[in-house]
Amino acid sequence: MHLAYPAVLAVLLFCVGLYGVLARRNAILVLMSVELMLNAVNLNLVAFDVWMRDTLHAGQALTLFTIAIAAAEIGIGLAIVLMVYRNRGTSDVDRLRDTAEGPDGIPDTPDATAQAQKAEATA
């Protein structure tokens, strides 16, 4: 087996995943793109393991470990996305900046800013 075929496929998968992470605004699509990138890494690990004819199959063992970590990551990521969707009504990545807090611990939203200004004015 030539090493070039799976390597080129892995590069293409990784580039599609990278584009998805950088261009998408939906959090679920960003998580899917991260999974594509991890699958490209797994493909490289298995291809190099077969190419090197390793007797311990370290590449395949590391691939199984990576798959387990990716499954845990996607489970936690989806749980976070679902909670954000329930609270905010959207899973748009750009709108998640509204959850950031200002330097004084007050949420950085227009209503909270107006409340903080009223509190300072009355004090």
The CATH number assigned to the domain holding 17 equals 1.10.287.3510
Assigned domain for 105 exists = no
pLDDT tier at 78, thresholds 50, 70, 90 = very high
pLDDT in tens, 89-119: 888 888 777 666 556 655 555 565 566 666 6
Rounded Cα gap, residues 107 and 69, in angstroms: 33
* Residue at 107 is within a domain: no
Answer whether residue 17 is part of any domain: yes
User: CA-CA distance, 84 to 91, in Å (whole number)?
Assistant: 7
pTM of the model: 0.75
* Residue-level pLDDT at 101: 59
* Calpha distance 10→33 (Å, rounded): 13
Task: Encode pLDDT of 5-41 as tens digits.
Answer: 999 999 999 999 999 999 988 999 999 999 999 999 9
Residue 113 belongs to a domain: no
- Residue ranges making up the domain that contains 86: 4-92
Asked, for residue 109, whether it belongs to a domain, the answer is no
Q: Letter for the amino acid at 88? A: R
79 pLDDT exceeds 80? yes
The span from the CA of 35 to the CA of 29, in Å, is: 10
Structurally, the chain folds into a number of domains equal to 1
